[in-house]
Amino acid sequence: MISILARTPRIGRIATNVKLPNVRHIRLPRVGYEIYYRVTGTPPVLEVMALWHVRRGKGPPI
């Protein structure tokens, strides 16, 4: 999934449960995890903020 996000980072939804700007997330339903990430810098760099299991609650503290 990371390589897919590196090629098409806008496929994730904007995360509304975080404090940092421009954070997106995508759910991996087969394993129950969400990847929280953002794209920063020039040239663009994919920055993974958290790998969060949905059973842990409302989202990571980022």
Per-residue pLDDT at 3? 92
- The whole-chain average pLDDT of the chain stands at 94
Answer whether residue 25 shows pLDDT above 90: yes
Per-residue pLDDT at 23? 97
Per-residue pLDDT at 32? 94
Residue 62 lies in a domain: no
Q: How many domains does the chain have?
A: 1
Residue 61 lies in a domain: no
Answer whether residue 38 shows pLDDT above 90: yes
Q: What residue numbers bound the domain in which 6 lies?
A: 2-56
Answer whether residue 58 shows pLDDT above 90: no
Answer whether residue 11 shows pLDDT above 90: yes
Given its phi and psi angles, is residue 59 left (phi above 0), alpha (psi -120 to 50 degrees) or beta? left
